[in-house]
Structure 1
Amino acid sequence: MRILICPDKFAGTLSAPEAAQAVRDGWREVAPGDDLVLRPLADGGPGFVEVLATALPGRRVPVPTVDPLGRPVRGEILLSPEDGTAYVESAQACGLHLLDPAERDPRRTTSFGLGALLATAAEAGARRAVIGLGGSAVNDGGAGLLAALNAVPVDASGAALPYGGAALLAVAGLAGRPQLRGMELVAATDVDNPLTGLTGASNVFGPQKGASREDVLLLDDALRRFAEVLERDLPGCPAGLAELPGAGAAGGLGAAVLALGGRCESGIGLVIRLTGLDAAYEEADLVITGEGSFDHQSLHGKVVAGVAGAARDRGVPCVVLAGRVSAGRREAAMAGVTEAHSLVDHFGGEQHGGVERAMGRPADGLRALAARLARQWSR
């Protein structure tokens, strides 16, 4: 048999390549003669660069940058010599995982670090930057990103604004022009939320980043004001920026990309294409995918939904291995999922320490589940 193994990361425990390796090792214990094809995936969030680096020619360039609170952190860009594209991951500089829960405050977190990554890509001669958007701790509409590119948001007196989304209530203009050296921008995201309003960045994603209800209202007003300034002061910024699909991705980083003349593209669609997953489907007898939590959100624009849907369209069974499974069986089946198995259940269930063991021994659990699948599915 040919088994296509293409998981997402297991957030907080395993990267996508590590998860794929654990599944491969478990399957080989039972059916060593089967052909196992590994294609770890990401949808634009954490792990975006690592996943693409396993599939694309190019070099990974380390870049010193800052985290959402302005503290030094190490990032990297993937430079592809074939077409002059730089692949950049916003989560390396803006990721929620970089902050302790007590530090999460979207009123003051900044996207400056992502701007530093993009500046490095431009200085390296990249003709295009593909930016994975997801998992961010920021809600500043890309104000920090623009500041790092020499377009600094300022108040009515011309003073540079402090970090964070809340400061944008006082934004009056931009000092300077973005320095991208003609580099094209593409946002890789599967979020189509607008920047503001009930389905905007602040209302939908602000609370998970630490925003109270009062914070959400303040940040929404601030982003609306910032969008007006960008439309007025950035040549080429599209009209109606705050309402454009994808503008609300990653705390409004999508809006910054659009304002700079960029565009949004499906993150999982882009990764599937670049990793050659479409061709791998054609010869697969079984597809195995997975993620940390397989829930109702997984079936709407996430890696598992993209993988399962493509498998369904080709008549190939698809099995999901996840840390926890809470998606409805009927809904999952309609999305193309044949079976779903949980590490928590494998380790005894929630009432018997399964959650703790699943978090502490995820690779062991995946190997065991994969071995069980091999006994069931291998010819």
Structure 2
Amino acid sequence: MRILIAPDKFAGTMTASEAAAAIAAGWKRARADDETAELPLADGGPGFVDVLEAALPDARRVTVDACDPLGRPVRADYLRDGGTAYVESAAACGLHLLAPAERDPRRTTTYGLGQIITHAVETGARRIVVGLGGSATNDAGAGMLTALGLTCRDAGGNVLPHGGAALAACESVTGQPRTRGVEFAAATDVDSPLLGPVGATRMFGPQKGARDADLPLLESALAAFAQVAERDLEAPGAASLPGAGAAGGLGMAFFLLGGRRESGAKLTCRAVGLDAAIAASDLVVTGEGSFDAQSLRGKLAAEVAAGARAHGRPCLVMAGRADIDSHPELAGVHSVTDLVGGVEEAMKAPVEGLEALAESVARSWH
């Protein structure tokens, strides 16, 4: 059999490449004669640039100096492929850049992402695709917009400090973005608006370190900033668009710049040639760290499963943990936690656990 292994990252434990290698190793232990092909994928979050670099033969990696979510120096990479630049927002404002005790979306900023984009613009990029995901920020992209030439001011004309909480005092956004007519695409599979129960703050703020007491402050701050930014940048309704709440509101910032939202999963799958790889396989295996009902609503697993279905190929999911154990569009859902007896056990040796899961599934697959 020809097995296509096309997982996303297992957040916090394995990159997509490491997950694909673990699944392939476990599968081959049980079925040595099967042919495995590894095709790591990404949806716009961490790993986005790595996956595209492997898929685009003429692309080159560019390293620049930027700042992390707390303003400290960080070296960040992005990808250039002709006139297109591919950027991970997490390269400069990712949650992984902060220790758990440092995570505080009241203070964290997207300014570093603006520095990366500025470099791409100044070196001739005409189209910039930004993968949104894994951010430590909740500033609606205000920091990024500042790095691009805009200024957020309070009622007294003072420049606002960085961070999501400071936006509560925003009374004007002045200046012109130094983007030279570049076309922006925000690659995300999050369709949340900026505000509300499924918006940037209430849906994603807690995982970035926001306490319950911080949520009303951050929500009202984003609402104040959105009202002013939509007015001053002449972009009415930007905060309500699907995807505006992605990456702590970075989605809205790109809408303010005239950008559009694009499915990160579709973009990546198209770039790596997923369709042709599925057509050449007998079985497709995908996976991610946590698989739940949302995973099949526009996320990477849904894209892989849809491609497999279109070619009449069965599709299996192997996940770190799974909240659902079956789905009519899938040939099976399997999790490391079920195999080893819990999350704590699975986290002790994630690679070994995924290898063992793949071996177990392979032995029972017919």
- TM bucket (normalised to shorter chain) is over 0.9
- Name 1:259's counterpart in structure 2: 256
Inter-partner Cα distance in structure 2 for 1:31 and 1:213: 50
- Name 1:189's counterpart in structure 2: 188
Inter-partner Cα distance in structure 2 for 1:134 and 1:54: 20
- Name 1:333's counterpart in structure 2: 327
CA positional deviation for 1:136? 1.4
- Name 1:277's counterpart in structure 2: 274
Farther off after superposition, 294-303 or 368-377:
368-377
- Name 1:204's counterpart in structure 2: 203
Inter-partner Cα distance in structure 1 for 2:111 and 2:246: 16
1:250 equivalenced with 2:247 (yes/no): yes
Inter-partner Cα distance in structure 1 for 2:23 and 2:204: 32
CA positional deviation for 1:19? 0.9
- Name 1:297's counterpart in structure 2: 294
Inter-partner Cα distance in structure 1 for 2:344 and 2:198: 34
Is the Cα contact below 8 Å between 2:189 and 2:264 reproduced in 1?
Answer: yes
Q: Deviations over 1:62-121 (max 9, x none)?
A: 12212211122221101112xx11110011212222222222221111111111111111
Farther off after superposition, 196-205 or 128-137:
196-205
Report the CA distance shift for 1:365/1:199 in structure 2 as closer, same or farther (over 3 A): closer
CA positional deviation for 1:207? 2.3
Farther off after superposition, 165-174 or 135-144:
165-174
Is the Cα contact below 8 Å between 2:320 and 2:336 reproduced in 1?
Answer: yes
Question: Match for 1:245: what amino acid?
Answer: P
- Name 1:371's counterpart in structure 2: 359
TM-score (norm 1): 0.91
Inter-partner Cα distance in structure 2 for 1:112 and 1:301: 29
Query: What's the secondary structure of 1:65's corresponding residue?
Result: strand
CA positional deviation for 1:30? 4.2
Query: What's the secondary structure of 2:55's corresponding residue?
Result: coil
Inter-partner Cα distance in structure 2 for 1:196 and 1:27: 44
Q: Deviations over 1:34-86 (max 9, x none)?
A: 332221111111111111111112011112212211122221101112xx111
- Name 1:22's counterpart in structure 2: 22
Query: What's the secondary structure of 1:54's corresponding residue?
Result: helix
Q: Deviations over 1:313-356 (max 9, x none)?
A: 432111111112222x3xx413x221122222333x12xxxx34
Inter-partner Cα distance in structure 2 for 1:27 and 1:102: 39
CA positional deviation for 1:32? 4.2
- Name 2:220's counterpart in structure 1: 221
Q: How many residues align?
A: 365
Is the Cα contact below 8 Å between 2:174 and 2:232 reproduced in 1?
Answer: no
Query: What's the secondary structure of 1:13's corresponding residue?
Result: coil
Percent identity reads 59
Inter-partner Cα distance in structure 2 for 1:247 and 1:18: 31
- Name 2:147's counterpart in structure 1: 148
- Name 1:37's counterpart in structure 2: 37
- Name 1:168's counterpart in structure 2: 167
Alignment of 1:32-111 (within 5 A): 32-57=32-57, 58-81=59-82, 84-111=83-110
Query: What's the secondary structure of 1:345's corresponding residue?
Result: helix
Inter-partner Cα distance in structure 2 for 1:102 and 1:343: 28
CA positional deviation for 1:29? 3.5
TM-score (norm 2): 0.94
Question: Match for 1:43: what amino acid?
Answer: D
- Unpaired runs of 5+ in structure 1? none
Question: Match for 1:20: what amino acid?
Answer: A
Farther off after superposition, 242-251 or 32-41:
32-41
Q: Deviations over 1:152-204 (max 9, x none)?
A: 21223332211111111111223431111221110001111111233321222
Inter-partner Cα distance in structure 1 for 2:166 and 2:235: 23
CA positional deviation for 1:293? 1.7
Is the Cα contact below 8 Å between 2:200 and 2:249 reproduced in 1?
Answer: yes
1:308 equivalenced with 2:305 (yes/no): yes
Is the Cα contact below 8 Å between 2:308 and 2:314 reproduced in 1?
Answer: yes
Farther off after superposition, 110-119 or 156-165:
156-165
CA positional deviation for 1:285? 0.8
Question: Match for 2:337: what amino acid?
Answer: V
- Name 2:335's counterpart in structure 1: 342
Query: What's the secondary structure of 2:36's corresponding residue?
Result: strand
- Name 1:238's counterpart in structure 2: 235
Query: What's the secondary structure of 2:327's corresponding residue?
Result: helix
CA positional deviation for 1:357? 4.2
